[in-house]
Amino acid sequence: MHGHGTDHHPRIPHASRLERARVLLVGAGGLGCPASLTLAQAGVGHLTLADPDRVDVTNLPRQLWHRTEDVGRNKAESAVAGLARAFPDLGTEALTERVDASNAEGLFRAHDAVIDATDGVATKFFLSDVAVLTGVPLVYGGVLRMQGQAMRVDPGGPCLRCLYEAPPPADAVPTCAQAGVLGSLAGLVGAVQALLALELLSGAARAGRGEATLHVLDAVSLLGRRTRVTRAPDCEGCRVTAIPEYPESPEACAT
């Protein structure tokens, strides 16, 4: 793995822009771990990881920063420790609290991009609303069974509600225990999320205003497809003017 010295990543365009970039990862599990690895390897200067949960032994097969001795430790702290071992010059911060209505706006505005690495469907809509309000780009991602998705929510572009309108009923999406999560697919989706953020941070993004690309990854066929997403007329999510309420009810797993 590469460190963050002065001679790193000479072939990456606009490497100095990446060194100055600050990225917030909401979630330090199946998506957040691989996304943070990819961002660090690319030379992003600062990563903030936020997660109130603790490492469980069942997390270890697919959440690469956590080790056996980290079981019971806060996930954000464990992941930041792993990043520090691999990238000693990387700027990091661990937030052991959830990103909710009390702190979301400030956290978004303190970063150049946000990675949605959460496992709650309603939380993903909440983060999309905050991205629209603050104008800070958000990279949505989710994994369920053998399919994964990723899409960047850019200022002026379609939000998650343009794609799905509203979260499904609580009993419509199975839990991780019910549906299962393929660890390698979560790793792939997390890496794709990081690449979508890097495309933006490096200045390489060329998406047309008012549209975005949904990347769908199928682990059965090992094929991916892209779907063009446009802003939905009269989308409530695109007209957010205040921080929405944080979903308090138990949520199904999407990663």
Write out the catalytic residue numbers: 176
**151 CB-near residues (< 8 Å, 6+ apart):** 139, 140, 160, 163, 196, 212, 213, 214, 215, 229
Alpha helices in the chain (DSSP H): 15-20, 32-42, 75-86, 104-109, 121-134, 160-164, 176-179, 183-201
**Cβ atoms 243, 164 nearer than 8 A:** no
Q: Taking the chain, what is the end-to-end CA distance rounded to the nearest angstrom? A: 26
Give the side-chain half-sphere CA count within 13 A for 61. Answer: 7
CA distance 20 to 22: 7
User: Would you say 28 and 78 are in contact if contact means Cβ atoms under 8 Å apart?
Assistant: yes
Torsional class of 22: left (φ above 0), alpha (ψ -120 to 50), beta (otherwise):
beta
β 22-26/46-50 pair status: parallel
From 146, 157, 103, 151, select the one nearest 124 (Cα to Cα). Answer: 151
3-class DSSP assignment, residue 81: helix
